[in-house]
A and B are shown apart, each in its own frame.
Chain A
Amino acid sequence: EPEVTQTPSHQVTQMGQEVILRCVPISNHLYFYWYRQILGQKVEFLVSFYNNEISEKSEIFDDQFSVERPDGSNFTLKIRSTKLEDSAMYFCASSISEKNIQYFGAGTRLSVL
């Protein structure tokens, strides 16, 4: 069964460093998403992406964040200068079409020290 793959499973970084979280969406999907979940809190939407453009973003997704689809298979989330409060699980999701079922990856745990 096709699945969304995220790497790494755990990323440890120092405050102020740049991190890139990687995702391989399901192959025929065209819509891509990032969500995050701070420990003990709700899953929060960050950004949606279609046709090489951001479709929608939340207030959390400020200038420190960016997304990119560098090739035909990867979808990345970059945080330019990490802060302690960026520590969270980051989930990538993909969907075959807009407002269709979103399938989530297992997540990347980001720990900012």
Chain B
Amino acid sequence: DAKTTQPTSMDCAEGRAANLPCNHSTISGNEYVYWYRQIHSQGPQYIIHGLKNNETNEMASLIITEDRKSSTLILPHATLRDTAVYYCIVRVGNTDKLIFGTGTRLQVFP
């Protein structure tokens, strides 16, 4: 089972920042947090990942709390094309597989 908890759905106005929370209270010290998204029924798309420091790339920023029990994915200027299901995944240390939960359905509206 997934080690993460995410809200089922969120809305965001186009041009505004989308902040997607994720709880992973049972995360272990060497387990990374990964974010993927899935647009319609397309293949999951990698967004960003981190261990304990905040990370930023061209798509998003990842803020991980100091105790690592939660994180937030930030899309700084959401567009309509960011409408998707966003998955927060804790990469369990003893396996290479990704365990997907139900994710957060983000709806960006004009």
Q: Footprint of B on A, CB under 8 Å?
A: 4, 6, 31, 33, 35, 37, 42-45, 48, 55-56, 58, 89, 91, 93, 95, 98-99, 101-107, 109
Q: 9 pairs across A/B with beta carbons < 8 Å? A: A4-B43, A31-B96, A35-B98, A43-B87, A91-B43, A98-B96, A99-B91, A104-B46, A107-B41
Q: Which 10 A-B pairs have the closest CB atoms?
A: A104-B43, A43-B100, A45-B97, A104-B44, A91-B43, A42-B100, A106-B43, A107-B43, A105-B43, A101-B46
Contact check, A42 vs B101: say whether CB atoms are below 8 A apart: yes
Q: Kindly list chain B residues whose C-beta atoms are within 8 Å of the C-beta of A33.
A: 96-97
B72, chain A: closest CB distance, angstroms: 20
Q: Footprint of A on B, CB under 8 Å?
A: 34, 38, 41-46, 49, 87, 91, 95-102
Interface secondary structure of A, over-half rule: strand
Nearest A residue (CB) for B48: A101
Q: Kindly list chain A residues whose C-beta atoms are within 8 Å of the C-beta of B41.
A: 37, 89, 107, 109
Contact check, B101 vs A102: say whether CB atoms are below 8 A apart: no
How many Å lie between the Cα of A43 and that of B37 in the bound state? 11
How many Å lie between the Cα of A90 and that of B49 in the bound state? 24
How many Å lie between the Cα of A4 and that of B45 in the bound state? 11
Contact check, B97 vs A104: say whether CB atoms are below 8 A apart: no
